[in-house]
Structure 1
Amino acid sequence: MIGTKSKGIEKIGFLSLFLTLISGAISLTIHFTPLYRFSIQRYDLVAVSGLSQAKLLENYRLLLQFLNYPWNNELKLPDFPMSAAGLGHFYDVKQLFLFNYFILFVTLVPTLYFLYYLWKKQQLWRLVRPFQWGILAPVIFLFLMLIGFDTFFVTFHQLFFRNDDWLFNPITDPIITVLPAQFFMLCFVLFFLVLEGLFYAMLRIGKKSVK
């Protein structure tokens, strides 16, 4: 009976741990605004848009506020008009963001309890095998993304969105001109690197326990 209970705790614990790390990596990527500042300079978005860097950053800040805050239900960007389809896509993105935060919220406490449970029983070494395998996933996805980002990007949208609103028309939705595909590629790269770092940290904790 005890063994069955321990296996149940372990399965739920590892699921919760992986979900916490993945949703945490997504959250860190979303809030890493220096990446957009870098993109403004790297891809000359000031020249593309005719707006100053300060104005671009202000519009980006307002966009993130809409996407991240449940109580912010109206998207208005001072320098970028938007079509109904464009607004619809950002509402869909908002739902994904909030779902990610929900996953992080509901798994964080169980994850902390699970790590405490392993530490108390001196079984942190159990982290080694799952993360030896798990650490390969970000590397594989990063490789696939870099050798064919366009395909990766389209497949991602087809998996997570039920419509074609993400196919922005730069005439009706000029916001897309300052959110180039290269910026999203950098976001994915950052996400996979952060996730790899978190997985590696778990692996190191497990190996240190073995020693």
Structure 2
Amino acid sequence: MIRTNWKEKVGLACLMLTVITLAITITINAFPLYVFDIGHLDILDRVALSQEELLKNYRELMSYLNFPWISQLKMTDFPVSASGAFHFWEVKKLFLLNYGVFLLTVIPSTMFLRKLWKEKRLWILNNGLTIAALVPVFLGFFMFVGFDKFFTTFHHVFFNNDAWIFDPELDPIILALPEQYFFHSFILAIVLFELIILGIIYIGRRQFKSKN
């Protein structure tokens, strides 16, 4: 049985926050994924724009969501209702919270991993990381069984209103952000999380074998 002290438990918790927020950060800024989905999901058939025009609006939206100094959402070709603007403001807060947690945890997590690496003790994390790696597997199962229900539940968890339910007449940007795009985004986030966690587990196992 692997015993860990409280410092190692705190280090593991910090590491998990870093991995989660890193996977989210990469996913929400995965510009190539959106470019791919423009063609894969026939998004241009939903909007009366060229791909270049659509991507310009997408960048404007992402700039608003990513940068705290941009206080008002303005897109060249998509009007935004008061309800839509409120929802994107709530999304912006979640984006910035994610970045804040990442910045607060990445340095101590790196130091923690570096310490265990030098001591050849990364393997002490394997039990906790194995459990953590199973969580996205269950989430992925529910996503594949019924993403529509999963997506609705996700919004109910993170938002205490129905501003996320867009009317295409008032907020046509929703036509450029089909549900399937978010499905692909969730998949990407899960894959990134699993790759990082399994990578650490693999290195830990190698260190454990070399020790014995």
The TM-score bracket by the shorter chain reads: over 0.9
Distance across 2 between alignment mates of 1:37 and 1:117:
40
| Match in the other structure for 1:156 | 154
* Amino acid in the other structure paired with 1:89: H
| 1:73 Cα offset (Å) | 0.9
| Match in the other structure for 1:3 | none
| Match in the other structure for 1:119 | 117
Distance across 1 between alignment mates of 2:111 and 2:41:
44
| Match in the other structure for 2:84 | 86
Distance across 2 between alignment mates of 1:120 and 1:180:
46
| 1:75 Cα offset (Å) | 0.8
TM-score w.r.t. length of structure 1: 0.95
Could you list the runs of 4 or more consecutive aligned residues of structure 1 that deviate by over 3 angstroms after TM superposition? none
Q: Within 5 Å, which residues of 2 pair with 1:9-158?
A: 9-158=7-156
| Match in the other structure for 2:188 | 190
* Amino acid in the other structure paired with 1:155: T
* Amino acid in the other structure paired with 1:99: L
Distance across 1 between alignment mates of 2:174 and 2:148:
16
* Amino acid in the other structure paired with 1:80: F
RMSD: 1.3
- Percent of aligned pairs sharing the same letter: 44
Unpaired segments ≥5 residues, structure 1: 1-5
| 1:140 Cα offset (Å) | 1.4
Distance across 1 between alignment mates of 2:28 and 2:162:
23
Structure 1 residues 153-192: Cα deviation after superposition (integer angstroms, max 9, x where no partner): 0000000011110000001111101101011111001111
| 1:21 Cα offset (Å) | 0.2
Q: Is the CA contact (8 Å cut-off) linking 2:133 and 2:194 kept in structure 1?
A: yes
Q: Within 5 Å, which residues of 2 pair with 1:168-187?
A: 168-187=166-185
Unpaired segments ≥5 residues, structure 2: none
| 1:121 Cα offset (Å) | 3.0
Structure 1 residues 40-99: Cα deviation after superposition (integer angstroms, max 9, x where no partner): 111211121010001111100111110001111111001000100000000000000000
TM-score w.r.t. length of structure 2: 0.94
Aligned residues: 207
| 1:129 Cα offset (Å) | 1.3
* Amino acid in the other structure paired with 2:123: W
